[in-house]
Amino acid sequence: MRALWILALAAAPASAQVDAPTFDWNGAIPAGATLHIANVDGNIRVSGTSSGQARVHGERTHVLSGGRALLFAVVKSGDDVTICAYNPHGRCDASGSRGGDGFHVGIGFSGQSPSADFTVELPAGVKLAASSGDGSIDVLSAGADVTASSGDGSISVSGATGNVNASSGDGSITIENAQRGVIARTGDGSISISAASGPVEPTTGDGSVELHLAKEVNPGSIDLHTGDGSVTIFVASQFGGQIDASTSDGSIQSDLPLALSGRMDPQHVRGTLGSGGDVQLRIRTGDGDIRIKRQ
């Protein structure tokens, strides 16, 4: 029966509404296309698969009194696939879920209960866009380009083969083994990025930033900003670049040689770091220390 249910969903018309405690979909998505998981409220877990089929399982985790629960739907737009968990009287389209309460749930929106959780298996080369109003997002060894957004939840992305763009209104962000560019933004949480080759742009309103650069860093900009937190950057011994770092209330220290340009200022440093080069390292913190360390 379960196999027949999955086949029925895969063959169902685009945006067919599914009102059930659980939901399953599987289908082929070509490399370069995007799978978008749009969840009003709940967690999203994504892992890679060696098969050519994407698999998505959804499960309601909270139903309000009176039986109000999220619905599921699948929308196809060319090779792209969008799968939604959305409120009754709403709808699912290629850009995400439009809730019955008059709000839109897509990349960067915070939703409300009721809730559902998704687990996803994603083939290599497929792009991922995952959004949750109020839940965590974990992506492991999956996704070419990855876009992940939560209104109030943590985000973890490890092993993405393309660019990563992660944002949370109030949660921590962890990006590991970033093979290309990284943008990470959170209003109130810490950011940790490892094995990054650049460009990198972490920004937090109130939290620390820790960045481990790869042994070889691409020419370009690395911009780190926090309103209230420390910034620690780990670099290889042979790293070189240009640095512009400032803190309103903290100190600046570097394990690498630093040739200053302009006047001496313990809270604003400009100059050449290490052997120099085409990497532009810009660091800003309102209230915290800045550390450049050898790894």
The whole-number pLDDT of residue 95 equals: 85
Q: What percent of the chain has pLDDT over 70?
A: 89
For residue 89, is pLDDT > 70?
yes
Q: Residue range 129-137: average pLDDT?
A: 95
CA distance 166 to 146: 8
Instruction: Give, for 275, the enclosing helix (H) or strand (E).
Output: none
| Residue-by-residue DSSP string for 79-97 | TEEEEEEE-TT-EEETTEE
Contacts of 43 (CB under 8 A, 6+ apart): 117, 118, 132, 135, 136, 137, 138, 153
Q: Which of 36, 49, 148, 137 is nearest to 95 (CA)?
A: 36
For residue 107, is pLDDT > 70?
no
CA distance 108 to 251: 34
More confident residue, 133 or 230: 230
Give the per-residue SS3 of 83-139.
EEEECCCCEEECCEEECCCCCEECCCCCCCCCEEEEEEEEECCCEEEEEECCCCEEE
Contact 194, 175 (CB under 8 A): yes
The HSE-up count of residue 244 (CA atoms within 13 Å, CB side) is: 8
| pLDDT, tens digit (0-9, with 9 covering 90-100), for 136-169 | 999 999 999 999 999 989 999 999 999 999 999 9
CA distance 127 to 34: 4
The whole-number pLDDT of residue 10 equals: 42
Note the residue count of the chain.
295
Q: Residue range 277-283: average pLDDT?
A: 93
For residue 98, is pLDDT > 70?
no
| pLDDT, tens digit (0-9, with 9 covering 90-100), for 29-68 | 999 999 999 998 999 999 999 998 999 999 999 887 666 7
Q: Residue range 192-207: average pLDDT?
A: 93
In the numeric block, the tokens 């497929």 are attached to 126
Contacts of 248-252 with CB under 8 Å at 24 or more apart are 248/285, 248/286, 248/287, 249/286, 249/287, 249/288, 250/285, 250/287, 250/288, 250/289, 250/290, 251/289, 251/290, 252/289, 252/290
Q: How many CB atoms lie within 10 A of CB 147?
A: 21
The whole-number pLDDT of residue 5 equals: 39
The whole-number pLDDT of residue 67 equals: 67
Q: Residue range 275-290: average pLDDT?
A: 93
CA distances from 160 to 130, 148, 164, 193, 237 (A): 13, 12, 7, 12, 26
Look up residue 88 and give its two tokens: 């009754």
Which amino acid appears at position 126 of this protein?
A: V
Average pLDDT along the chain:
88
Q: How many CB atoms lie within 10 A of CB 41?
A: 26
The HSE-up count of residue 293 (CA atoms within 13 Å, CB side) is: 11
Total-model pTM: 0.88
The whole-number pLDDT of residue 114 equals: 86
The whole-number pLDDT of residue 198 equals: 80
Q: Residue range 204-216: average pLDDT?
A: 93
